[in-house]
Chains A and B, each alone.
Chain A
């Protein structure tokens, strides 16, 4: 059963802060996420050579888990979430991922029993639904992916997530050609349809095993746009277009929650603040503490409303201050301590605004994701919440409006960014008012332009 969001969880953006969600989520061993506290979520990757066998992977993840738990206890942090994003071998062989989860959870239980530290384990299987040339969203690899979720839920994982990639074949073509209607079609329509397909099943597995169906992220598309856009001096994509892709992705990522997921969504979903404004559920975010994985033009801003604070991913290896997971985990936990002090002293709104103002004017992406503006995008989405196309289009158009108004408020855009924004708005305003016409026109166009687009096979279109 899919229940669309047609109203906002927050009537006023000023109500939103880090560490507090309208609908907190209990997970794992003693944690309640979004209940007046922020918690670090540490994310890691095994050294590449360990992916050659199940035994090597289990050993590697045991070391990672022990190192993290040791450091959290050594420095006195009250809670932690561990997120294991699968290397493909762990999803392609579901019993490998399950063995890793089981080994990790045993260690976490030991620390919970011995020290009383609150903790939870999230696993994110890889979206393996593709072959060499084509997406294969609904065939045999889908069964393997579901098997992976099933075995993870049976073997101690507390929260299930995925970075689903429906629509990516059209998106990759469109984003490199400044094709905003193509971005809207790929993320807002195809991506959302695929999410509905996959999340109904993930939620069922989670409910059957009494674990948390957490959420998704538009990593495959909106993060690709953000990565291609790069820093201020990169010349690959206008940042005004990257943020349009991002706000469209909020309409898409929301679908997991509409299918019954409860949050926290995935850390790399920079659309998280928009989701929280609509759904009131906890969110994971990453920013300045994910510079181990990628640069960021809004590193402080994204802390503004987070409930879990993540480092995206770091390869497991030695550093001067311990292993990489200990070093980055400790940094995350100290950030959370500062936020928790603000929550306990009633100064959280000031700290939230300092985070936000640090990056609001650094880049158009941060400007739109600043929580008062993110809330406006959320409101535009729920105005047509029952229509996947119209709500995604609303998000894109509201983004254009926010940026245009932002120029009067002190946001500086290059002429290139301004032109890209103007062209995008013209393209969006020229689109049809109904989903059937838009989808039909888009199918005609992209079946011709994108060789690997198979709408019937992957989306039943």
Chain B
């Protein structure tokens, strides 16, 4: 009987927790440290590796210093974006997906990568070609943007060009940007049930203008039932799905395929 386990300790009753709950995160934690896991994934090139390492630890100054050295040694700035910066971020993304590192590590690495990309662009003589463009916004009337911030960071970490329209973004502004940028995917987040109806207005206007594209909707108030009723709607339950969805679209997935892959309920 559980009560028999209770004993007096300090002033309050206490119990052996192993009898009533399981800390699955402790039970399943991987043995390998993040640093050990990353070491196996860095590029071998001696010019690229320190930059990738600096991206991994979120060292902005280290990233720029490494890039300076590589560029002065004759390396192409745009190639450094792909091989060193995105290469470093690939390590970050892989280890985040494998639950070896956590979101704040990704945010710091993403900040460092962005700093490096800006530096490389300032030194380049031609434009870089991202994997594709994604437009992200927070629903009109809604100012809760931490979820969108995470989505943007994860997409950039995976090499996508993100047009971040910020929070409380009017429906018309979203549609105008889709028309102008022709992105491969649009994302919208909403915390409040009253604001998620903006997604329906966006969906209807995109339809009117024949601007068909996957429109990934997520956030605290949003649910799969609501999003499934939108012609272009794909329900995004968790932020890390965003780059996976973009990758699926690049591989040819349409709205129907994305729903098959990502709708869980």
Q: Which residues of A contact B (CB under 8 A)?
A: 12-14, 45, 48-49, 51, 87-89, 130-133, 172, 176-178, 224, 227-228, 232-233, 235-238, 315, 350, 353-354, 356-362, 370-372, 409-410, 412-416
Contacts and interface: CB of A to CB of B under 8 A. Distances in A.
Given A132-B168, A172-B145, A357-B6, A416 B12 contact: no
Interface residues of B, number: 45
B17 A176 contact: no
Contact of B149 (A133, A172, A315, A356): A172
A205 B168 CA distance: 31
A236 B105 CA distance: 9
Interface stretch (B40-48, B80-88, B192-200): B192-200
A137 B142 CA distance: 17
Given A233-B25, A235-B99, A362-B21, 10 more contacts: A87-B194, A132-B167, A176-B149, A228-B103, A232-B23, A353-B12, A357-B6, A361-B21, A409-B9, A414-B29
Given A132-B167, A224-B146, A412-B23, A236 B14 contact: no
Given A51-B194, A87-B194, A356-B12, A177 B104 contact: yes
B250 interface: no
A236 B146 contact: no
13 contacts: A48-B196, A88-B192, A88-B194, A176-B103, A176-B153, A228-B146, A233-B24, A237-B104, A361-B17, A371-B12, A409-B14, A410-B14, A410-B17
A233 B99 CA distance: 9
B26 A413 contact: yes
A224 B146 CA distance: 9
Contact of A416 (B102, B111, B145, B197): B102
Contacts of B192: 87-88
Nearest to A363: B23
B15 interface: yes
Contact of A176 (B13, B146, B168): B146
A416 B150 CA distance: 20
Interface of B: 6, 9-17, 20-21, 23-26, 28-29, 33, 96, 99, 101-104, 107-108, 111, 141, 143, 145-146, 149-150, 153, 166-169, 192-194, 196-197, 220
B50 to A, nearest CB: 22
B166 to A, nearest CB: 6
B20 A178 contact: no
A230 B217 CA distance: 20
B223 to A, nearest CB: 10
Contact of B108 (A89, A177, A224, A413): A177
A370 B12 CA distance: 10
Given A45-B193, A235-B99, A358-B20, A416 B29 contact: yes
A410 B16 contact: yes
A315 B220 CA distance: 13
A176 B153 CA distance: 11
Nearest to A171: B146
A415 B143 CA distance: 35
A237 B167 contact: no
A237 B102 contact: yes
Contacts of B11: 12-14, 372
Contact of B193 (A48, A177, A415): A48
Contact of A235 (B23, B102, B167): B102
B103 A414 contact: no
Contacts of A132: 143, 166-169
Contact of B103 (A88, A224, A235): A235
A360 B14 CA distance: 9
